[in-house]
Amino acid sequence: MELQNLTIKEARALLDEKKVTAVELAAAYVERAKKKNGELNAYLEIFDDVNEQAQRADKIIADGGGSMLTGIPLAIKDNILIKGHIASGASKILENYVASYDAHVIEQLKNVGAVFLGRTNMDEFAMGSSTENSAFGPSKNPHDVTRIPGGSSGGSAAAVAGDLAIAGLGTDTGGSVRQPAALCGIVGFKPTYGAVSRYGAMALGSSLDQISPFTKTVEDAEFLFTTIRGIDSRDATALPDTYFSTTTSPKRIGVPKKFLTQGIDEDVLEVFNESLELMKKEGYEVVDIELPNMKYALAAYYIVMPAEASTNLARYDGVRYGVKEEGENLTDDYMQTRGKGFGAESRRRILIGAFVLSSGYADAYYRKATAVRELIRNDFREAFKDVDIIATPTSPTPAFKIGEKANDPLAMYTADIFTVPVNMAGVPAISVPMGTVKREDSALPIGMQFIAPHGADSSLFPIGKDFERIVV
């Protein structure tokens, strides 16, 4: 079976026309995943119940039911709980933890008969931008296996880009779906905060996290988003459908040109500007806008996120579940368990978070960062009074070499410069392939990021589809 670039829409047609069964489709992906995963390290585990899941999907189809996602093989990030399967967050501290319930998004997908191929690699507890922080080794970029696939959802991105799954799910806290999507040449869509329930996703930054889809096309992202979105009483931040605006066709694009002058590779900026010129020829208006506080987003994010992370990760102490190390006393139990169970980056962010929340420092750091966050939100509100969409590159560079920035956390953090403001403001954004740039002998993908107002998720799909058509 030809799996290269197979989309949800195309697979749906094959299934509906009885040209292939869900069992055959799933088996083809499992075979390819087992063959290629040694090279890419995209999956931490390929599930042994894939055939059983696919049989259920075939029964749904035979009974005349189902939806766009029935029988579609998906890759699921290792921090999204699937009942009866290990969910480790790519950490040694949860290496053997078996989920006792399904995440809301998994319930939604099970209801329509989607097939989960396996759990994918990631930066430990989603802390990273390269998937190098996984306790189980880095994932590799399918376009050049000497390079990172991005992070923290790099395993899902590599699985979809490498045709080891048709689509997948990740979590996006500061760009962890959009950035790897851009570096792997696929589509990554981060919904409005609250559009998709976070129930059953391991919390990193509770005010920032959002479960998000990886797909081959913008249309596929819309299919997957439509299935997983919706109100959930178990997530107090979930927004009702009435909050969201109906589909529009945006035509006025704002570009924060002053923010695109530093830290971005020249060839990435050149392709970005050429892409905007193509959009102009298609009838889009491109105007310069001001986002004066966007330059502070990264600094504020790396206070807010570690603060929330240190609180959320306090539960992983080996007492109720996960790996436990025996010490001389209870306090030493905690220190031994967390010291050995967490990797270096997780420990770094936990310590930063504990510091900025500590007595005497919360006012100087955490509360100031939350005030800056409100300024960033207001910048977006003001900008969207004059434009329909804001455009930036998704990442300032293409994928870098594995190990290249491993000892320079600050350089690693700057990979999120264009994606972090979106999470700080809670607005939706999509990364769409924008072409490639050359590095050595490789043509490496880069992405265009479109940002929409809060609740205007549906407006990103028409412009994304247009951009796919124009650029290709």
Rounded Cα distance, 41 and 44, in Å: 7
CB count in 10 Å sphere of residue 381: 13
> Given 77, 140, 190, 216, which residue is catalytic?
77
List beta partners, residue 390. Answer: 254, 451
176 belongs to the catalytic site = yes
Say whether the peptide bond before residue 152 is cis (omega within 30 degrees of 0).
Answer: yes
Rounded Cα distance, 421 and 417, in Å: 8
> Given 152, 212, 395, 459, which residue is catalytic?
152
Q: What is the dihedral of CA 301, 122, 102, 45, to 10 degrees?
A: 180
> Given 176, 275, 310, 431, which residue is catalytic?
176
Task: Tell me if residue 392 falls in helix, strand or coil.
Answer: strand
C-beta of residue 178 within 8 angstroms of C-beta of residue 141? no
C-beta of residue 435 within 8 angstroms of C-beta of residue 272? no
List, in sequence order, every beta strand (DSSP E) within 155-215: 167-171, 187-190, 211-215
C-beta of residue 213 within 8 angstroms of C-beta of residue 76? no
Query: At residue 241, what is the residue type?
Result: D
* DSSP secondary structure letter of residue 100: S
C-beta of residue 164 within 8 angstroms of C-beta of residue 29? yes
Strands of the sheet with 73-77, listed across from one edge: 43-46, 115-120, 73-77, 167-171, 211-215, 187-190, 429-439, 442-451, 389-393, 252-255, 285-288
C-beta of residue 148 within 8 angstroms of C-beta of residue 183? yes
Rounded to the nearest 5 degrees, what angle is found at the Cα of 130, between the Cα atoms of 455 and 253?
35
C-beta of residue 233 within 8 angstroms of C-beta of residue 199? no
C-beta of residue 431 within 8 angstroms of C-beta of residue 447? yes
Residue/partner pairs of 366-369 with CB below 8 Å, 24 or more apart? 366/303, 366/304, 366/307, 368/303, 369/299, 369/300, 369/301, 369/303, 369/304, 369/307
Active-site amino acid positions:
77, 152, 176
